[in-house]
């Protein structure tokens, strides 16, 4: 095997092994845990690209599948279509989590390997090039992107890749190989297209190094005119691809008001500590750190280079030293503090030039790392004796690994619960099923500038991959504020469902009717765990929905979710008849998971008391349940116990009081019986049963406990026996 092939093979194995070591936790928890908050968005992006490409009438760069009902322009969204082919190949075979882990692994591998290749092309010794690539691959700012599933921003291999491609163009022209130069020009044009499909910030990142490097090589070249033509060909191909198969026309047609925010709170790498040491937390967006290895090695290399100015060394090493300074300075953020003084920094100008769209100054730090490592490699390769290289490189490897805590992983989170009812929704296909909207409760949306609602509820966008329907919740990197800001507090229905506004029934009901019929809405999914089971809001929402049987019916109760189907749905609403016992009675087990199908206002959250599931009443002066029953006469039995003192209980059926009343004892759960006449039942549809009690007591007001709830009677079950 040729020496160069052996070297490249060894480098590939080395960086693949290091990628596995860095990311091992992803593979050991594959399918059960995910990296970072934003994972849901990038999984959905891949699904959306496939769905749009395979569904007539849809456009990859326009969607109302999130933030419905608005048609959102994705021209500025971090769609990251570059990685779609990998996902599309792996996902059908191994699932979306494996596919995303493969993408993260490739991103990590290429970061190290392609910088190694460029360093070798610039004359760096194999060992120095190997350490250089590794320093970028395992840098804390690189690992931040791996461990937050930021497949749009962890692709730092584009920097050495474009430097290599341009280098090939220039060398081919200088050698008189015009066809080869054309080939490399076309290749770089496609690579620039890939750059634009990765993230719109990457053209800025690459320009920091590629633009001055191109000018430098052009200045040194002898055949400048062909290089100009080659460069124009590259740009023409890239522009054509980005226009006809990319986001450019959608960026051009983008309208609306963005919310970029101010510059003062934009996080930079803290100076000087963030460049000299590794912080305890490196995986958060607002705690960036580089560790000390690259900075210290660069400072030592500068001292060495200055001491050898009169000796022959690569003259272009100073080019890379100069190129590392702008991203280094900009990565410090809008201000640095020295000797107690806050000093404004040039990042403010970049923030202004990009109209506030470039929000994270520390993201420029990897550009500094790449340029600095090239400077270091060019400084040490000529002067480090071959006999000393292995010892120095082993020491550098150990110091680098210790400095950035190479084996340390970021926290990972469990995946969202895989609800079966989303699968059921996904199986509802064709007209008119494809047109309905799924509303997730609580409601919440987000962009790169602002999150509205609990951030966790925005991740329910991930479920869109399963149900494949439009939804309100979701995330778009850049979208006009008018598309989402009213959801905060202005919408009486959706703001209430997001717990940002109190319930106003006179405003909510007409809005709900309109939304169900016009959007239309097929299902409303209530995530009880996110609302809070042990609170009044959950019962308020469920009770209110249960009181609108002409609009909604409880369809699924699974894990922590309650799903209401709308009466618009083509399959309609099944009768809300309680399950029958062996004796033929219809019984509601109050406190059980599926009692939410029947409960109205007035119930507190379910409790387990001595092995019994029950609920207390008393939140409101009356407590309601809703059922459907076959027409006829019934005996109603209720297993109940009063709190603190006996309660007088009466029952109303469809607002008609029953003849009997009962005195509910405080001693224990006992059964109380009432007779429901046939006339009160009527046709048996949409029956409202009201528990009316004479008083409530608050435990903390009588010194019984710290419980602040209003309590009347506890109910274990309610039974309807035909007579």
Domain presence at residue 66: no
Does residue 259 sit within a domain?
Answer: no
Q: Among 75-84, 300-309, 424-433, 538-547, which is the least confidently predicted range?
A: 300-309
> At 567, phi and psi to the nearest 5?
-75, -10
| 146 and 1 both lie in a single domain | yes
Return the DSSP state at 507.
H
Residues paired with residue 553 on neighbouring β-strands, in sequence order:
565
Q: DSSP assignment, residue 683? A: T
pLDDT at 574 over 90: yes
Give the pLDDT confidence of 85-116 residue by residue, as tens digits. Answer: 999 999 999 999 999 999 999 999 999 999 99
Do 182 and 150 sit in the same domain of this protein? no
Question: Within this chain, do residues 355 and 281 fall inside the same structural domain, yes or no?
Answer: yes
The domain boundary residue, chosen from 545, 574, 603: 574
- If asked whether residues 531 and 677 sit together in one domain, one would say no
Greatest C-alpha distance within the chain: 110
H or E stretch including 626?
Answer: strand 622-627
Asked whether 313 and 305 are in contact (CB, 8 A), the reply is: yes
- CA end-to-end distance (rounded Å), the chain: 92
Stretch (H or E) spanning 97: helix 96-121
Co-location of 663 and 586 in the same domain: yes
**pLDDT band at residue 609 using 50, 70 and 90 as cut-offs:** confident
SS3 percent helix, strand, coil of the chain, rounded to 5, is 45, 15, 35
Cβ contact 151:199 at 8 Å: no
Is residue 141 assigned to a domain? yes
CA–CA dist 261, 255 (Å, integer): 18
Q: Check residue 112 and give its pLDDT.
A: 98
Of 574, 595, 624, the position where a domain reaches its end is 574
The count of domains in the chain is 5
The answer to whether residues 168 and 237 belong to one domain is: yes
Question: 382 or 545: whose pLDDT is higher?
Answer: 545
- pLDDT of 308 strictly over 90: no
Question: Pseudo-torsion of CA 480, 485, 490, 495, nearest 10°?
Answer: 130
Asked if residue 67 is part of any domain, the answer here is no
Question: Does residue 634 sit in helix, strand or coil?
Answer: strand
- Decide if 309 is inside a domain: yes
Mean pLDDT value across residues 301-309: 86
Question: Do residues 423 and 403 both lie within one domain?
Answer: no
- Give the domain-ending residue among 549, 574, 599: 574
Whether 425 and 521 share a structural domain: yes
List the structure tokens of 535.
């609170």
- For residues 143 and 189, membership in a common domain is answered with no
Nearest Cα to Cα of residue 600 among 552, 650, 672, 664: 552
Strand 437-441 versus strand 521-527 pairing type? parallel
**Are 146 and 191 within one domain?**
no
| Residue 442 and residue 457 in contact, taking contact as beta carbons nearer than 8 Å | yes
| Phi/psi at 540 (5° precision) | -65, -50
Cα angle: 83, vertex 87, 93; to 5 degrees: 160
CA angle, 116 then 118 then 119, to 5°: 65
pLDDT digits over 431-474, tens only?
A: 999 999 999 999 999 998 889 999 999 999 999 999 999 999 99
Query: Which residues, in sequence order, are bridge partners of residue 711?
Result: 697
Structural domain span for residue 333: 267-383
Tell me, yes or no, whether 451 and 494 share the same domain: yes
CATH code of the domain covering residue 702: 2.60.120.260
Token match 């005195």: residue? 663
261-291: pLDDT as tens digits: 788 889 999 999 999 999 999 999 999 999 9
- Distance CA(590)–CA(99), nearest Å, equals 44
Rounded to two decimals, the pTM is 0.94
Considering the domain boundaries, does residue 258 fall inside one? no
- For the record, the structure tokens of 715 come out as 């109910």
Residue 482 within a domain: yes
Residue 424 resides in a domain: yes
Predicted pLDDT of residue 390: 79
From residue 239, alpha-carbon distances to 8, 77, 152, 189, 250 in Å are 33, 19, 20, 8, 14
Q: 561-596 b/e with 16+ CB inside 10 Å = b?
A: bbbbbbebbeeebeebebeeeeeebbbbbbbbeebb
Question: Confidence band (pLDDT; 50, 70, 90) for 419?
Answer: very high
120 and 238 housed in the same domain: no
Tokens of residue 389, six digits: 């290289």
The predicted pLDDT at position 313 comes to 61
């Amino acid at each position: 095997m040729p020496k160069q092939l052996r070297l490249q093979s060894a480098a590939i194995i080395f960086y693949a092994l290091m990628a596995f070591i860095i990311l091992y936790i992803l593979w050991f928890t594959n399918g059960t845990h995910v990296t970072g908050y934003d994972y849901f968005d990038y999984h959905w992006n891949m699904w959306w690209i496939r769905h749009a490409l395979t569904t007539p009438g849809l456009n990859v760069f326009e969607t109302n599948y999130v933030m419905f009902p608005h048609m959102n322009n994705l021209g500025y969204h971090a769609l990251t279509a570059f990685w779609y082919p990998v996902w599309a190949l792996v996902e059908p075979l191994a699932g979306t989590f494996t596919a995303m882990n493969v993408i993260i692994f490739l991103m990590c591998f290429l970061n190290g390997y392609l910088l190694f290749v460029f360093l070798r092309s610039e004359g760096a010794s194999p060992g120095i090039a190997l350490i250089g690539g590794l320093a970028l691959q395992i840098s804390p700012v690189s690992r931040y992107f791996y461990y937050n599933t930021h497949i749009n921003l962890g692709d730092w291999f584009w920097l050495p890749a474009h430097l290599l491609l341009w280098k090939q163009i220039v060398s081919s022209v200088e050698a008189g190989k015009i066809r080869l130069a054309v080939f490399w020009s076309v290749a770089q044009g496609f690579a620039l297209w890939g750059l634009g499909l990765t993230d719109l910030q990457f053209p800025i990142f690459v320009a920091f190094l590629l633009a001055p490097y191109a000018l430098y090589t052009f200045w040194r070249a002898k055949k400048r005119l062909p290089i100009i033509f080659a460069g124009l060909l590259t740009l023409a191909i890239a522009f054509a691809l980005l226009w006809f198969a990319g986001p450019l026309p959608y960026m051009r047609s983008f309208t609306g008001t963005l919310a970029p925010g101010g510059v003062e709170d934009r996080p930079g790498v803290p100076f000087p500590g963030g460049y000299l040491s590794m912080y305890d937390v490196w995986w958060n967006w607002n705690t960036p750190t580089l560790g000390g290895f690259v900075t210290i090695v660069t400072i030592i290399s500068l001292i060495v280079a200055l001491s050898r100015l009169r000796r022959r060394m690569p003259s272009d090493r100073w080019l890379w030293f100069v190129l590392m300074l702008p991203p280094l300075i900009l990565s410090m953020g809008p201000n640095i503090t020295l000797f107690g003084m806050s000093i404004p920094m040039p990042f403010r100008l970049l923030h202004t030039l990009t109209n506030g769209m470039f929000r994270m100054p520390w993201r420029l730090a990897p550009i500094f790392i790449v340029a600095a490592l090239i400077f270091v490699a060019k400084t040490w390769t000529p002067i480090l004796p071959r006999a000393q290289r292995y010892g120095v490189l082993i020491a550098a490897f150990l110091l680098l690994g210790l400095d950035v805590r190479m084996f340390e992983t970021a926290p990972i989170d469990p995946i969202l619960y895989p609800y079966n009812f989303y699968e059921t929704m996904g199986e509802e296909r064709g007209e008119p099923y494809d047109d309905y909207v799924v509303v997730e409760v609580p409601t919440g949306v987000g962009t790169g500038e602002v999150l509205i609602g609990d951030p966790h509820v925005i991740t329910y966008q991930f479920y869109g991959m399963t149900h494949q329907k439009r939804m309100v919740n979701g995330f778009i990197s850049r979208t006009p504020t008018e598309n989402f800001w009213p959801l905060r507090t202005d919408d009486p229905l959706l703001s209430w469902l997001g717990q940002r506004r109190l319930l106003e029934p006179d405003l909510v009901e007409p809005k709900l009717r309109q939304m169900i019929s016009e959007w239309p809405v097929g299902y409303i999914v209530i995530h009880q765990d996110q609302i809070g089971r042990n609170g009044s809001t959950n019962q308020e929402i469920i009770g209110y929905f249960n009181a609108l049987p002409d609009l909604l019916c409880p369809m699924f109760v699974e894990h922590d979710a309650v799903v209401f189907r709308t009466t618009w749905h083509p399959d309609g609403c099944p009768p809300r008849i309680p399950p029958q016992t062996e004796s033929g009675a219809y019984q509601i087990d109050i406190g059980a998971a599926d009692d939410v199908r029947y409960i109205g206002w007035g119930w507190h959250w379910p409790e387990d008391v001595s092995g019994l599931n029950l609920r207390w009443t008393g939140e409101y002066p009356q407590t309601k349940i809703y059922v459907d029953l076959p027409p006829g006469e019934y005996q109603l039995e209720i297993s109940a116990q009063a709190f603190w003192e006996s309660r007088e209980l009466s029952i109303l059926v469809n607002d008609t009081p029953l003849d009997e009343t009962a005195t509910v004892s405080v001693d224990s759960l006992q059964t109380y019986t009432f007779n429901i006449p046939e006339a009160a039942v009527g046709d048996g549809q949409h029956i409202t049963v009201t528990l009316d009690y004479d008083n409530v007591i608050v435990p903390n007001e009588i010194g019984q406990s710290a419980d602040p709830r209003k309590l009347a009677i506890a109910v274990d079950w309610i039974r309807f026996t035909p007579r």
